[in-house]
Structure 1
Amino acid sequence: MTVRKAATIAASMLMVLVFVSINGDVSQYLASLKYGDAKAASADITYSAEERQRLLTIISEEAEKRKITPEDARIDRVWKAIPGYNGVEVDIEKTLDAALLAPSANAIPYVFKEVEPNIKLNDLGPHPIYRGNSNKKMISFMINVAWGNEYIDSILNTLKRENVKATFFLDGSWLKKNADIAKKIQADGHEMSNHAYTHPDMRALSRQDQYNQIAKTEALLKSTLNVDNKWFAPPSGSFNQATVQIAEEQGLKTVLWTIDTVDWQKPPADSIVRKISSKLEPGALILMHPTASSRDALPGMIAAAKAKGYAVGTVSETLSSKRLPAAVEGAD
């Protein structure tokens, strides 16, 4: 090693030691880098106990003002099981850490965390679900598939173009014959769920037959698509309390819809869009099938939801108690 090179290394090490000495101990310096704030890395981040306590007091007082209480899941007289919605509160410890690393002239960078409800959807027992929580500005498309293969590609193309994920409820006998199409739907990131096996009138069946209809499709979803499913949509909306109980025994919640496109009657696409737009509300579950009417109406339905400031997600996302980003929640 040349004398010049050794001198350069020694000078560099000295500069680092001086920098760390001026700006606090090594752990504080590394912590500043962890938070990714270049200004904090070069700022004086040594605080007295009094200053830490002052910041903690400010953060704790502000935390009380910013707290949003979680909303418990509940049984509604009309809509039956309604999911809860997470609350939000300031993470005092992480906010203090961030504040101690921030430049002193900056506002306190509050860090938030979600708080789950005491009563969750799964705590309500066997009740049908028709909609999500009205405080969650998200809606879902429920696409029931037992026929209509010729329209599926067009529907998938629209969903991909609009960056929307839907939930496809599959008839088991259809899935058995159309595994490749089902895998294509799944590959696009859509949720795959249970629509019985032979599209029966569930409430007209015996308890055992109802059980078999759900179980056969559930087994196919697992063996063909490796799906751990959560939802059962009874064909034609026909069910009784036994149906809901049997689905619950298999780990599934029974899901119906908030708004029906009635696309099987082949209405004009523009009439579907007008109907959906006029009835849209937070938490809405929109029922459709792979028909020509819904294929043509889908872009307009998505546009109507986005125009109202609603996110569009899967049934699992809409019925989850997780909060949406503040930008979505605050949109008009």
Structure 2
Amino acid sequence: MLSDRQITSRRLLLVAAGMSLLGVAGCRGSEGVDGAAAAAPGAEAASAASDGPAAVPAAASSGPSASSAPAASSASSAPPSAAPSAPVASGSPVAAPRKLTSAESKPVYELDAERKVVALTIDDGPDPRHTPTVLALLEQYRIRATFFLIGENAVQYPDLVREIAARGHHIANHTWTHADLRNLSDAKIKDELERTSDLLNKATGKPPTWFRAPGGDWSTSSLKIAADLGMRNMAWSVDPRDWARPGTAVITDRILKDVRPGAIVLNHDGGGDRSQTVAALKTYLPVLIDSGYYFTAPPG
């Protein structure tokens, strides 16, 4: 007999699939950006073809303000058990990556500034303490985000990788060990990226189409190698430095101050205690929705 959680997830996926067939762009909290994603000055425009299910429309906010934090759904409150030795496999055929040009490999810092759209990106997971809470919160507001996963975390928590994908979020590559790519040889960089892409490909049935260098520290070699592996490079335009744990209020204030149409927002669900980030998400997401922003995952 299906659990409430399974039923909820299946319903959301069916709704997303139906919207994709109807060509619905999205509504209150999330929208697709077919043809709308564009690079910031110096960066190339993002491809218009989405590589995931259509965004599910966010529920209209019932009035939470910056001072009131809505409770996250309990659908994902219990973290899955770790399985360090368990292989990650989906049974889906492994797709070959698309080779990109040097122009396409340039980091993208913003989306289309003409539309009131925000891309929420979550780095350094998956993490059994915080990722389930983040997923429940995104489901509550029906927001599709991009999760930049670290390979050594993904192989340790394969159930979380599959859960992120099952909920319709975009899964992207954040290296295997979160290394500073500027200090690595070409062979080591390729191993960091290719090993992670292979793992995520097997887990989801699709190779990742976006890559983010740890710390945003790209090198000429890493840009080329990512492109050879079929991945575009995503930077960010809003960084609250939540990884430093400056406090929930500081994280929230930095995001609300700096966000603008087309912004790519950087947050973290892994790499340490991210309870401040989770609390900030509970506060600023409804504020942005009430302000008329849509959320999207950049297209592949």
**Taking structure 1 as the reference length, what is the TM-score of the superposition?**
0.59
Q: CA deviation at 1:148?
A: 3.9
Pick from 205, 209, 227 the counterpart of residue 230 of structure 1.
209
Asked whether 1:144 is paired with 2:128, we answer no
CA distance in 2, matches of 1:181, 1:126: 29
Q: Deviations over 1:186-207 (max 9, x none)?
A: 2221111111111100111111
Q: CA deviation at 1:146?
A: 4.0
CA distance in 2, matches of 1:82, 1:252: 14
CA gap of 1:281–1:82, structure 2 versus 1, over 3 A, is: farther
**In terms of mean alpha carbon deviation, does 188-197 or 138-147 score higher?**
138-147
Pick from 170, 185, 189 the counterpart of residue 206 of structure 1.
185
User: In 1, are the aligned partners of 2:172 and 2:210 still within 8 Å (CA)?
Assistant: yes
| Structure 1 unaligned regions, length at least 5 | 1-69, 87-120, 321-332
Report the equivalent of 1:299.
Answer: 282
Q: Deviations over 1:115-143 (max 9, x none)?
A: xxxxxx97933211111121132111111
Report the equivalent of 2:293.
Answer: 310
CA gap of 1:261–1:72, structure 2 versus 1, over 3 A, is: closer
Larger Cα-atom Rg? 1
Q: Which runs of 4+ in 1 moved over 3 A?
A: 70-75, 82-86, 121-125
Report the equivalent of 1:264.
Answer: 243
Q: Deviations over 1:55-109 (max 9, x none)?
A: xxxxxxxxxxxxxxx99967724xx3344889xxxxxxxxxxxxxxxxxxxxxxx
User: In 1, are the aligned partners of 2:116 and 2:294 still within 8 Å (CA)?
Assistant: yes
Number of equivalent positions: 212
Pick from 243, 247, 255 the counterpart of residue 222 of structure 2.
243
Q: CA deviation at 1:228?
A: 3.1
CA gap of 1:301–1:73, structure 2 versus 1, over 3 A, is: closer
* Structure 1 or 2: more helix by fraction: 1
Q: Deviations over 1:236-293 (max 9, x none)?
A: 2111122111111111101111111211111221221111111111111111111111
Alignment root-mean-square deviation, CA = 2.5
What is the one-letter code of the residue matched to 1:235? P
What is the one-letter code of the residue matched to 1:243? S
User: In 2, are the aligned partners of 1:74 and 1:84 still within 8 Å (CA)?
Assistant: no
**Equivalences for 1:44-59 in 2 at 5 Å?**
none
Report the equivalent of 1:45.
Answer: none
Report the equivalent of 2:16.
Answer: none
CA distance in 1, matches of 2:102, 2:188: 27
| Structure 2 unaligned regions, length at least 5 | 1-34, 50-99
Asked whether 1:170 is paired with 2:135, we answer no
**Equivalences for 1:26-105 in 2 at 5 Å?**
76-77=41-42, 80-83=43-46
CA distance in 2, matches of 1:134, 1:122: 24
Q: Deviations over 1:15-68 (max 9, x none)?
A: xxxxxxxxxxxxxxxxxxxxxxxxxxxxxxxxxxxxxxxxxxxxxxxxxxxxxx
CA gap of 1:296–1:71, structure 2 versus 1, over 3 A, is: closer
CA gap of 1:267–1:147, structure 2 versus 1, over 3 A, is: farther
Among the aligned pairs, what percent are the same residue?
25
Where relative contact order (Cα < 8 A, 6+ residues apart) is larger, the structure is: 2
User: In 1, are the aligned partners of 2:125 and 2:147 still within 8 Å (CA)?
Assistant: no
What is the one-letter code of the residue matched to 1:157? A
